[in-house]
Chains A and B, each alone.
Chain A
């Protein structure tokens, strides 16, 4: 009757299976979004309203009242372009870390590529990222932003770095969370650090100057390289380059504006690191997934 071969069930092909199950991925993402906005009148519009209001608050409170604009031109845009990216990272990694345990009921009963769950979490977060990006774009246009090829390239690269990083770490912590529920608390802590460990609220020159006064010249330069090699730092700087820099004038110090070698050196380093993290995450996930059904 059937001509197919005998195969061993339960051995998937990892992320490649996710590519094959695009329809299921789409449904899982749609499910998340539907469940999240169930029973609310504005529905997905909320994800436009919230960042919009957030930006206005930044603009007034930080830029106008606290006078942050004196140090950093268009501080609200500087801040917001970093924050949308970090928001995306936080939401993606936080949800991906919980996704495997959260879908335990399913994983215990039916075999399907389990990588789908962390990937779907990252995807859902990307859907929430879009409205924030739109708010940012509108603000940028008001501030006189005109996009060029390099700006769009940098934005896409920054987003890709964060998406890969969140997928890789999400696979790792999502799998680890099955064995040790402590993982999700660890991730929460990590996310809190992530906001401060990248130049979202401040400029990278403050880190350089701070390190130079606190440490000897040699140590300071090593620490600065470590700081700059953080893929999140690179991604945030790429977003600054793409969205904030074109809105500034000549009064902004070109060094603050963009760290040297951002596009030709740090960008490939960031992408490479993020890719390695994804491969590492996938590798650990596959080693651990064999026992998911019995541990959940």
Chain B
């Protein structure tokens, strides 16, 4: 089986206090660079992970354990301090749905803008436009500015664009929280359809029942380290057992 995502010993340190003024940096330089300008901590600590093509992996862990940070490294938004990340094929990150949406533009303009941001060509968006709008069930509101959308409608349109980008690797971070019950079910069905079509999925969610349904493998992060990697049901049991 071919590897879709290869993460080799990556570490990432973040500073606890960000310096934003030249004055502070200057004072620090003048004082002979004494002390660290800012304290650091490891958000990811020597993380290695291989995901095969067509696999669907749930990334689990408590708040602040580094799940989103890991996804950002896989999508290329962040670069690791140490180690390497390599991916095969186009990666689309639903790190946050609708990140590229502009409130003052209409739904239609936003579909084009967000589609292009996620790497679609003009031709692809033209061809899929109908299908995107149908899936989102936005209907007549497509020409309304999205600032007048309800948060669920916003999510629907954004999710719909994202699933239509047809990437090989799909990163999903906590995105199903806003939709109503029927739409959530529709999204889950769509995600499972993608998985069945051989797409690689990495799903972050605190909804353990949901991930157990969608994914086969579970990876648990704690304080930036992988502490469990195995079948998703064992991972869920591990988390529910509170043994971390």
- Bound-state CA distance A179–B22 (Å) is 9
Contact B168 A9 (CB under 8 A): no
CB of A182 closer than 8 Å to a CB of B? yes
Contact segment of B59-67, B83-91, B217-225: B83-91
CB of A105 closer than 8 Å to a CB of B? yes
- Bound-state CA distance A6–B22 (Å) is 40
CB of A11 closer than 8 Å to a CB of B? yes
Residues of A within 8 A of B121 (CB): 23
Mask, B1-40, CB within 8 Å of A = 1, is 0110010000000100010111001000000000000000
- Bound-state CA distance A247–B81 (Å) is 61
Q: In whole Å, how far is A38's beta carbon from the nearest beta carbon of chain B?
A: 6
Mask, A1-25, CB within 8 Å of B = 1, is 1101111111100000000010110
CB of A180 closer than 8 Å to a CB of B? yes
Contact segment of A27-35, A41-49, A85-93: A27-35
- Bound-state CA distance A11–B198 (Å) is 26
Residues of B within 8 A of A10 (CB): 73, 75-79, 85
- Which of B2, B14, B117 sits near A106, CB closer than 8 Å? B117
Contact A6 B105 (CB under 8 A): no
Contact A35 B105 (CB under 8 A): yes
Q: In whole Å, how far is B106's beta carbon from the nearest beta carbon of chain A?
A: 9
Q: Which of A11, A111, A181, A293 has the most CB of B within 10 A?
A: A111
CB of A217 closer than 8 Å to a CB of B? no
- Bound-state CA distance A30–B110 (Å) is 11
B interface residue numbers (CB < 8 A to A): 2-3, 6, 14, 18, 20-22, 25, 53-54, 72-79, 84-89, 91, 93, 95-96, 99-100, 102, 104-105, 109, 112-113, 116-118, 121-122, 168, 198
With A108-B77, A111-B93, A290-B79 given, can you name 20 additional A-B contacts, CB distance below 8 Å?
Answer: A1-B168, A1-B198, A2-B168, A4-B88, A6-B6, A9-B85, A9-B86, A10-B79, A23-B116, A31-B109, A34-B104, A35-B105, A38-B104, A106-B100, A107-B77, A109-B99, A110-B93, A180-B21, A294-B14, A295-B18
